[in-house]
Structure 1
Amino acid sequence: MAAVSLGNGLRIFYRERGQGGQTVLLIHGNTASSLWWERVMEHLPGSVRVLAPDLRGCGDSDKPAPPWSIADLAEDIYQFTQALGVGRCFVVGHSLGGGVAMQLAVARPELVERLVLINSAPAEGLVTPPERYAQLEAAVQMPELLKAALGMMMPTAPQDEFYRAVLEESVTKSAGALIPNGRALDVMNLVEQVAGLRVPTLIIYGQKDGLVTLDMMERTRDQIPGAQLELWPDVGHSAPVEAPERLAKRLVEFFGI
């Protein structure tokens, strides 16, 4: 892990692998961290620079007081890329990170060469019912309950040492971001903006997902010009953990790296 300080004062930690003229940027989901991408990174070619930052409030990155917006998270990532000398890159977003990736593509189109969304927050946002927030507050205070909920988001993952490490880091280092990120998704709406995107876009949808629906992904596909939707029937919400080698291979194909 390394760290970089942004112009807004935040210190962002990140994982980095490989080197070369092309860069792949991996953006994780809610209550997650760059650790979720570790096995994907292992299967990407070493001739490509791969960067996976911890979003604010998550992993080892700084944890400022909420609230924050999806636009704030995207601006953090933009500043992160600039601090590391990235002029243009392939962007991959999982879950909440898909919302951040779309916002980044809208706000900084010069940065994004190709876009991949994995069981992403839809372009219209993802609203958590108000009564659910009490349950989420309780989960944040009860690590084993939160681990169980996160485990349901990766139903086909082998329950090995890596799986346990992902869950442990999520509840110990990223749980405080769960509700602020949820609030940010509540008010996100990029439907009009993504209609103007001119970036090749692939949406991967693991169909064993209990959170994001196929209907949401179909609408997002229809809202982004030229986007393609690929269904993975045997994967749940979290392909980076459930099917890392398969995902890495698909990224290599789509990015042409």
Structure 2
Amino acid sequence: MTFFFPFPMKHPTLHLLPALILLLLTASFPAMSLPTQTEPIRQVIGPYGFPEHRVALADSLEIAYVDAGKGSSTLIFIHGLSSYVRAWERTLPELSRSSRCLALDLPGYGKSSKGHYPGTMEFYAEVIHLFIQRLHLRNVTLVGHSMGGQIAVTLALKYPDDAQKLVLTSPAGFETFTAPEREQLRAFYTVASIEHTPEAQVRANHKYNFFRMPPAVDLWITERLRMMQCDDFGLYALTVVRSMAGMLDGPIFERLPQVQQPTLVVFGAEDFLIPNRALHPQLTTAQVAAAGVARLPHAQQVLLPEAGHFAHYEQAAEFNKLVAAFVK
């Protein structure tokens, strides 16, 4: 459930939001009005398929996560903007055969607590740092997708002892934006636009994340539509808006040379979201990937064919093989 915001559907090639968002603006469809349900979002999301746990990191901040597998290495999976644990459902079964794998819902997302969280990259990095401390995790590899990749780098820079290695899949932060571009992007969506996204757009938004959208993603769409009826969906929408601002306000590109951990960078060759097609029509995904990798002191890059923004999902077998070898 990751959704981005291009222009209305009659202009499908004009993408004014960065390669990480997943909710289309509502201008080309009538607004969808759904009855509000009294249950919270966490109750309308089905089982994740692995043992589920919750840990309180503060009085009003509780993190939901799954914990699978055993091994000398620990992998922490960090989802992207507007996403949740289910984004890793094709990764956890294989990698948990040889490593302990923990995938968490960030604050405001999925089954974790909802609230007025700042949404900055520093905030999420601090949350994962506390998560690592509270669970006494060792030999950690951070696996971050999209916004999760930007969070992983932020954490690695602030708390270098927390992570031995990094895996960045379609990471945010490699593509840079000027100040005017950032203001353009910031202005294009609001809590209200997210709350009133029509069903047709919800479905279209998911498709933009894939080269060929797998049928299993239908469940993500169903759960996203259920979420929109929940009484805490407004807090979820606020989290998405603040997270987007947090990415724009927490750039990492200039700081990449300071990352000392061995890093595996994976992009889908057919990523429709990175680079931003409207602001940077001259760039390709391969160029954005290479520019970031060139600044990392200890990095290797893989471009997976026939894969979009969710490269780790569409090409799961190859991605899992790459990560297992990298961690080992």
Please say whether Structure 1 and Structure 2 have the same fold, judged by a TM-score greater than 0.5. Answer: yes
Higher radius of gyration, 1 or 2: 2
Contact 2:107 2:117 in 1 (8 A): no
Asked whether 1:148 is paired with 2:204, we answer yes
- Equivalent residue for 1:168? 222
- Equivalent residue for 2:313? 241
C-alpha displacement of 1:125 = 5.6
C-alpha displacement of 1:219 = 2.0
Greater displacement, 61-70 / 92-101: 61-70
- Indicate which of 42, 50, 53 corresponds to 2:101: 50
Q: Which amino acid aligns with 1:166?
A: W
C-alpha displacement of 1:54 = 0.3
Between the aligned residues of both structures, percent identity stands at 28
- Equivalent residue for 2:83? 32
Contact 1:115 1:200 in 2 (8 A): yes
The secondary structure found in structure 2 opposite 1:82 is: helix
Asked whether 1:232 is paired with 2:304, we answer yes
Q: Deviations over 1:168-195 (max 9, x none)?
A: 3345275553212111111112234321
- Equivalent residue for 1:200? 262
Asked whether 1:86 is paired with 2:137, we answer yes
Greater displacement, 187-196 / 56-65: 187-196
Change (3 A) 1:240 1:166: farther
Contact 2:163 2:261 in 1 (8 A): yes
Contact 1:88 1:110 in 2 (8 A): no
The secondary structure found in structure 1 opposite 2:166 is: strand
Structure whose residues are more often helix by fraction: 1
- Indicate which of 274, 284, 300 corresponds to 1:212: 274
Q: Which amino acid aligns with 1:79?
A: L
Contact 1:140 1:176 in 2 (8 A): no
Please give the alpha-carbon distance, in whole angstroms, between the structure 1 residues aligned to 2:217 and 2:206.
Answer: 11
Q: Which amino acid aligns with 1:250?
A: L
After TM superposition, list the pairs within 5 Å mapping 1:92-111 onto structure 2.
Answer: 92-111=143-162
Contact 1:30 1:177 in 2 (8 A): no
Please give the alpha-carbon distance, in whole angstroms, between the structure 1 residues aligned to 2:265 and 2:224.
Answer: 25
> Would you say how many aligned residue pairs link Structure 1 and Structure 2?
253
Contact 2:64 2:112 in 1 (8 A): yes
Greater displacement, 124-133 / 143-152: 124-133
Change (3 A) 1:142 1:221: same
Please give the alpha-carbon distance, in whole angstroms, between the structure 1 residues aligned to 2:139 and 2:159.
Answer: 10
Unmatched 5+ stretches in structure 2:
1-51, 228-232, 276-284
Change (3 A) 1:32 1:169: farther
Please give the alpha-carbon distance, in whole angstroms, between the structure 2 residues aligned to 1:2 and 1:28.
Answer: 17
Please give the alpha-carbon distance, in whole angstroms, between the structure 1 residues aligned to 2:55 and 2:174.
Answer: 29
Q: Deviations over 1:123-146 (max 9, x none)?
A: 466646244225x84244225223
Contact 1:4 1:11 in 2 (8 A): yes
Please give the alpha-carbon distance, in whole angstroms, between the structure 1 residues aligned to 2:133 and 2:117.
Answer: 24
Contact 1:7 1:79 in 2 (8 A): no
- Indicate which of 238, 248, 266 corresponds to 1:186: 248
TM-score, L = length of structure 1: 0.89
- Indicate which of 214, 219, 222 corresponds to 1:158: 214
